[in-house]
Every structure is written in structure tokens, then in C-alpha cells.
Structure 1
Amino acid sequence: MDLAAAHRLRAAEDRLRPRAVACHAAGPVGWRVAISFGNFVEVDCLGLQQNLQESALTFYLQLLRNRQIGCRQLPFLFHPFMHVESGPLAQSKNMFNPAPQAAPLRIEPAPKDTLGCMSSHLQRDQGLCANGVGIHRKTMALPHLHHVETEPSARGVLLGISMRDGHSRRIVAGRHASCHDFDRGSIYIRGFSERYRADIQRPFDFVLLEISQASLERAIEEKPGKRIGSLAHVAGARDEVLLNLAEALTPALENPACASMLFVEQLSVAMTSYLVETYGGAASSAPRTNRILSRSHEARAKEMLRSKFDGSISITEIADACGLSRSYFIHAFRETTGCTPHQWLIAQRLEHARALLMNPGTSLADIAAACGFADQSHFSRVFSQHSGVPPGIWRRRMRVEN
């Protein structure tokens, strides 16, 4: 490229947004890309790698359109011997008018999920929702260059918990950029109210909580002591408490059909309350003592739990019926009964199942349905975890003993 052409290319990059990007298959030389910057300069890129995936090409051209990379970076991204030419529009109109035999490739924006991740790059994309909190697990195992971007919205706050080592990302905020490393247990907290942009070059595995504004406001209202305004923005900090809670959520994400919504909401409430307490910027309040449910509250909570053996009742419903905050109710129930609401409900379901197992005419499938389990397999798995043997063997042992 001569000096004059280089100056024209630099001026086009610095002052103008690309107005058109055309891409055509070029036979054995790979891809042919032409970029128009207006009325005075175009760039023709020849000899792109033939084995370049179409999804990767689409991604880089999107970066180019959005001025997140410049034309001068294209040779290094695609091929070290790529030939780049530029010239006046009148002299290079053939760039956007290829020979008839060159079939044009239409470049469409790659589909992205609600969190700005390119869907085609995700090896794992799991999700649940629990009363205003969206819970996801997203994994990218291959080292794609990945760009994440979300526009400002009123969606609340996003918490990310890294489930593996070796991830890093470059976060762009306005004109400033910062790089952050994430190992297993590292977290980030960001609000949806601001535009978010990040360049990701290494594989990742995150459990993510999308906490709605209403859920966040409720957690703030329920926190004793001084009211906080918002959560701190965090990137790369390690938090063992959130890692342990995220690990407890992974079985439910792996098998949503067998997940107890009572259990999922219980964990999401605990994580949201912990976020407000730890990253809310207010001094921690003195620990509460004697958090015991009154007899009437205990009886009401147990009655409501028994009425929904399948766990479809929510912590919010029970706490509201008792006139208590959700986090206070969970702690008080545990101190009163010695177990969490979900653990207590599981114990009640298994007790009812053992009573039904004493009737030899009742099938395991019918017992599973009567006790609120998703299916016989789910019932057998939970029963074995708590009793040490599958329900069929337990039933035969009881017959022998009796």
C-alpha cells in the first residue's frame, strides 16, 4: 500500500463509520471482503484464510462495522499475507461489483442471547427463573474471540460467578477500558442501567443471576439498618460464599424438570440478601439473635408447605402470610425447626412415601406422584440419598421385618 493510500485509509477509519461491507467467496483464495467508507475510499481485502469459519468472519465484520476494530487490524486477524488495497471510489467500483460467478455471501448479525453472548459460541446455556430472579449457566469451552454488549435498560443487576479458572475479559466503560482475570470463585456485579461492553478471549463458565429491579428493591427494604442506594460494581473479586451457593444451584440447572422451585427461590433469596449485605456499601448491622418463629407462624408455614408437596409454593408467599421478610423467615424457620423450609418439606414427603410403601399394592410411580416428585426416577434418587437404599429394596426389607 502506498503512502497516499495509507493516509486515506487512516482518515476513513478515524472519521467515518463503514457504510457498506461486502463479502464474497473467492474460490481457493478464501474470502474476499470490500469495505466502503463513503465517497472517496474503499478497502479491498484479498486472500483471507480459506478455512475461516463463516461465524467468525461475521463476528469480525460486525466489529468492523461498529468501529470496535479498524481495517488495519484485519490482516493480523485473518492472514499474515493478506493483500490490502485502497483507492478513490471512481477507480475501484469493481470492488462492490464482483464477477457474476462469485456468489455473494450475505452477512447477517450473529444471534445473541439476552445477556449479549453469541449463542453459537455457547457449549452450555441453561436457565431457570425464581420469582423475579433469572438464573443461568453459560459455558464457552473454545477460545473464540467473543464480544459481549448490552444496551442500558431497567432490568436490574447481573451477578456472575466463575466456575472455572483461567478466564479474562477486557471491559470498556465509556472511553476507559480495564482488564480483569477470573479464577474459580471470582465474581462480577454490574447494573443493567449502563451500557456494557466486554471483549472475551478465553473460555468461561459462569453461573449468572439476573436480579430484577423489583427483587433488588425488596431485598434492600428487608435489610435491617441503614438503607443502601445501589450495589458496588465488582469485577474479579473472589467470594467463597457465592461460589458455594452457585454450586448448590448447578444440579437444578442441569435438570430443571426435577428442580424444586422452593429450593431454587430459597437460594436466590439467600444470594440476593448476601449481595445487599456485603456489596451494598453500608456498614453491617449487628447480628440478630433469637430469630424464632412464633407458634402461630410456625404452624402456618408448615401448613402452607404441606399443601404443596411438589414444592410449587414460594418463600415469598409464606413470608408474606407470616408478615416477615423472606431472609428473616428462612433464618427463623431454620432456627425453629433445625432445617430450611426445603429440607423440612423433603422430610415430610419422604415420611409420607414410607407410609405408602407399606401398602404393597401401590406402585412406585403412584407414590412418586402422590408425594410431589417429578417422576419415579426422581423419587428413587431422593429416597436413596436420604435412606441409603432405593425405595423398592426398603419396601422388601420392611416386609421381611414385619
Structure 2
Amino acid sequence: MYTSRYDTVLDIYTSTNHLPGEDTERAPVWIMRQAGRYLPEFRKVREDHGFFEICQTPELATEITAQPIRRYSGLIDASIIFSDILVVPQAMGMEVLMNPGPQFPDPLNTPEDVQKLKTVVDVNKELGYVFEALTMTRKELKGEVPLIGSAVLLGHCSRGGTKTFQKCKTWIFKYPEESKELLGRIAEVCVDFLVGQVKAGAQLLQVFDSWAGELSSHDFQEFSFPTLHYISQHVRERLKANNLPIVPMTLFAKGANTSLSFLAQNSGYDVLGLDWCIDPAEARRIVGDKVALQGNMDPMLLYAGKPAIESAVKRMCEGFHTGKGGWIANLGHGITPGVDPDDVRWFFECVHKYSAKKQAL
């Protein structure tokens, strides 16, 4: 029985893997990057504040996180703390500039460059502003929706040549053992960071591997998967050891669709996020009811007008209703800056309509 919007997303998470949880009348929904560039209220704040200034100022990060919850109150079922994918490399000692997109002025070009990174990272010192923002946001939300924390698995080499990922992929193929060692160091920081987020008030966690689809199945399982599994395993161990809530965890390994079965069986995550390049019914067939799924409309459909959005949402809901297992409605990647907020509202309204159990699909 559906009880409240707050319960909806948590119920879907906790109803996976045979844990106790209630069924829901419709799919809970939120969108990646829902707090940010497409909202005029965000751009208003941005007029007077730099991007990293917002990330590092708890009051500003809280305001940005709460903006979509206010705008879409009654339609959206979760918030995700406003931060950036590059706060972990910053914490490890790398300089990051926005010019206008993210750049590493002094990247890791060879294994010797890893010596530039800090050997020990105190996340409370380096990323305490994120923890403060989480605690402040929990209070600001007043229980309307749960709050998601996150971390991103990201290569620390140059982001140059991103169309082919030449520099990053050259790094891992040329220096495989050094790459695994570096990923292990990143994983340790991510574990500390995620545990700290739960301690600060996060009720769910999402781990992003946005470049997973750039690797073959073999290379994904050799390089990315061990790190992702380490994070899920050690976050839970640390939460238990510190008497903290064992919160649900989502993995969004964008593009790793050929590894879905492997991830469902072995990753240790409660939910797997999907991009738009796999049919929801096929994804459900592959994973069975071992995990919940999250996704997966192409974000570019938000530019196509209300009829196209409605058609895509209806088709998405039909696919996810196939078979057993929980589903959280979302996009297949983050929302982009030029989207009309009214079309986002329409997306939410269509999810409410077509994912409802009483709706004839």
C-alpha cells in the first residue's frame, strides 16, 4: 500500500534482495542533475557565486539542492545533494578549474605523477563542507523526500581527447597495475566519503561510473568492477562497524549494459541504474528480481516537446512493468542545461500517470 512520497523511493530500495519493504502504487521518480543548470533559480544564484564556491558553501549547496523539491513539490520523490564529480580528486590534491568546463591544469600523465597526490586524505577536513551541506539539507527538507549522497569513480588523468578517451585509456592499457593501484586509492577515499555522508544524514547512496561504457566487458571487469565492488562492500562494513544505518546503494555504470547480469550477481548494490541504450524489458529479463532498476529515458527527449515525452515515458513504463522487481523512474543520464523546466514537470506528471498500477498500459 502506498503511504507517502517519502516512503516510495525507500520502499523500492528496501524491497529488493528479499529485504522487507512495501509495494507502491506507482514508480518513485527523481532525475540525475535535477538540482542545477536548467533551473532559472539556480542561474540566479550562479550570477553572484562561482561553481566551486557553491559546492563548498553549505548554505548555497543546500539552497540549490532544495530548489527542484520546491518547484516540483508533490511530483518528485528524492533529492540528491548538490556537489560535483571532481571533489574527490580535489580532496586528493589535484587542482581543478572550470574554464568553462572542468580541466586539470596539472594532470597525471605518467605513474610518476601519482606522487603529486596526498598519501592520506582526511575527508572530514577536505570534504567537510559536503557533510555540512547534507546535514543542513536534511533539516531543510523536513522529511518531504529522502536525501541521496553520491560519489563518482573518475580517472585522474587528463580529460583531453574525451571523444575517444585517448589519454585515459592509454593510461590504463599502458600502465595496468599502476592504474589499479590508483583506482584502489580513489576507492578508499570514496568509501570514507560515502560513510561520512551517511553519518551526516544521507539516506541513500549512488555511485557513478559515467565512463563505464567506454570499456569493453573484459576491461570493465578488470579495471572498474573491482573498485566498484570494493566500495559497496567496504561502505557496508564501515557503516555496520560504526553503528550507522545500512543504507541502500545504487550503482550507475553508464553504458555497461553487456555486464548487467554480472553486476546483478556480483556487485553488491541494491539498485542498478540504466542508460537509454537498453530496453527496460530486456534489462529486467537479464537481472531478474535480484536487484531493482533505475532509469532510463534519453535526456534529449526532454527537448522534443510534450507528445514525444509522453510517448517515451509510456513506453518506458511498459518496459519496466515487465517481470518482477522494483523500479525507480529516472533519466538515462543527467539532465542538460537547455531543458525547459515545464517539460521536466511534464516528465514527472507522465511518470505518475503511466507507472500507476491502476493505469492500463
Instruction: Compute the TM-score of the two structures, normalised by the length of structure 2.
Output: 0.24
Which structure is higher in RCO with an 8 Å CA cutoff and minimum separation 6?
A: 2
Q: Which structure has greater helix proportion?
A: 2
Q: Which structure has greater strand proportion?
A: 1
Instruction: Compute the TM-score of the two structures, normalised by the length of structure 1.
Output: 0.23
